[in-house]
């Protein structure tokens, strides 16, 4: 199945306790598409400025990534984000955000893009997510990501999009914040009651909890000795998750669980280096090997009396 991602292609400045980089490739659509392309063809709808380099553009080369929807604006600069992490790598502190070309981003989908099977609305303002969704011819699966900022200042618009999508990928704290409910399971069920069939709760170094009407599935994060930079982990997870799902014929619980693990596998690589440096190095064989490591990490047998 075809995947379309609408999000950012960006430059980041990042400081972690383990190093710093003043300008590196980033953006939700970037991480998402590279991760998804391990399993499925993916099309990007995003915008970049004149400053976006050919070398950075090469991250998409040799992969099943369609760039017809990647618009370049002359005389303007690419979206820029600067963030910092302390030893608690679960929490990013934003130091600077320069929207640049992203300020006027108003995606217009082509006829082919409107017919996508799977749509991922990366974290952009909810009205824009709704606008993109309305342009499509009802994809088979629509997923979105969001952030605390939109819950703070655009909760109603966000709830309107929640009601229209199949799957929400969201941080644990945001689930609680959105429903003003401290119990995660209760809050998750309340969001499902709005319409989505599946809620995928990201818990940083603690992994992922997937909640549906019928089941809950918990996957740990891969316990790494070297977590270098968590930037992009969430979008990488979403890319691996939806990329794997799109490669399957049937979208059953069994495949959703495998997809959660593949998403977690991809994300575990992303955090090992700055930017997409680690993602660019690995092959599908590395991904499959770490999938087996996840099996070993979580497996336990039925008990014997």
With vertex at residue 198, the alpha carbon angle to CA 193 and CA 200, rounded to the nearest 5 degrees, is 115
Closer Cβ to a copy of itself, 57 or 184, answer by number: 184
Residue 97: is it exposed, middle or buried by C-beta count within 10 angstroms (0-12/13-18/19+)? middle
| Spatial strand order in the sheet of 216-219 | 65-73, 42-49, 3-6, 118-121, 141-145, 167-171, 198-202, 208-212, 216-219
283 near a copy of itself, rule: CB under 8 A: no
Residue among 57, 92, 184, 197 that touches a copy of itself (CB under 8 A): 184
CB of 175 to a copy of itself, least distance (A): 12
Distance from C-alpha of 303 to C-alpha of 305, rounded to nearest angstrom: 7
Work out which of 257, 280, 282, 286 binds a copy of itself, going by CB under 8 A.
257
Say if residues 100 and 52 touch (Cβ distance below 8 Å): no
Task: Give the largest CA-CA distance in the chain.
Answer: 72
By CB under 8 A, the residues from 11 to 50 that bind a copy of itself are 17
The residue behind tokens 């999000």 is 7
- Closest approach, Cβ 261 to a copy of itself, in A, equals 6
Cβ proximity to a copy of itself, 21 vs 206, nearer residue = 206
Answer yes or no whether residue 223 interacts with a copy of itself by CB under 8 A: yes
Q: Which stretch binds a copy of itself (CB under 8 A): 52-60, 67-75, 114-122, 258-266?
A: 258-266
Asked if residue 280 binds a copy of itself (CB under 8 A), the reply is no
Which residue ranges make up the site for a copy of itself (CB under 8 A)? Answer: 17, 87, 182-186, 189, 203, 205-207, 209, 211, 215-220, 223-227, 254, 257-258, 260-262, 288, 291-292, 295-303
């Amino acid at each position: 199945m075809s995947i379309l991602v609408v999000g950012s292609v960006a430059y980041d400045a990042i400081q972690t306790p383990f190093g710093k980089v003043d300008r590196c490739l980033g953006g939700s659509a970037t991480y998402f598409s590279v991760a998804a392309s391990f399993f499925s063809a993916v099309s990007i709808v995003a915008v970049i400025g004149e400053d976006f380099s050919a070398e950075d553009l090469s991250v998409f080369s040799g992969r099943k990534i369609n760039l017809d929807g990647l618009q370049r604006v002359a005389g303007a600069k690419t979206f820029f984000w600067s963030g910092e992490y302390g030893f608690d790598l679960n929490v990013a502190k934003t130091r600077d955000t320069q929207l640049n070309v992203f300020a006027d981003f108003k995606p217009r989908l082509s006829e082919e893009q409107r017919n996508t099977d799977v749509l991922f609305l990366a974290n952009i303002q909810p009205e824009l997510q709704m606008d993109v969704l309305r342009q499509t011819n009802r994809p088979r699966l629509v997923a979105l990501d969001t952030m605390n900022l939109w819950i703070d200042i655009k909760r109603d618009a966000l709830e309107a999009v929640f009601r229209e999508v199949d799957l929400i990928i969201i941080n644990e704290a945001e689930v609680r914040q959105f429903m003003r409910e401290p119990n995660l399971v209760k809050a998750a069920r309340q969001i499902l009651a709005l319409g989505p069939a599946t809620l995928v709760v990201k818990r940083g170094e603690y992994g992922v909890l997937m909640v549906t009407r019928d089941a809950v599935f918990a996957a740990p994060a891969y316990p790494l000795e070297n977590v270098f930079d968590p930037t992009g982990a969430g979008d990488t997870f979403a890319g691996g998750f939806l990329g794997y799902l799109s490669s399957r014929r049937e979208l059953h619980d069994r495949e959703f669980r495998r997809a959660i693990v593949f998403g977690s596998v991809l994300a575990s690589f992303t955090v090992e280096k700055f930017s997409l440096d680690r993602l660019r190095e690995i092959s599908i064989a590395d991904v499959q090997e770490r999938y087996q490591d996840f099996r070993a990490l979580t497996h336990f047998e039925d008990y014997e009396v």
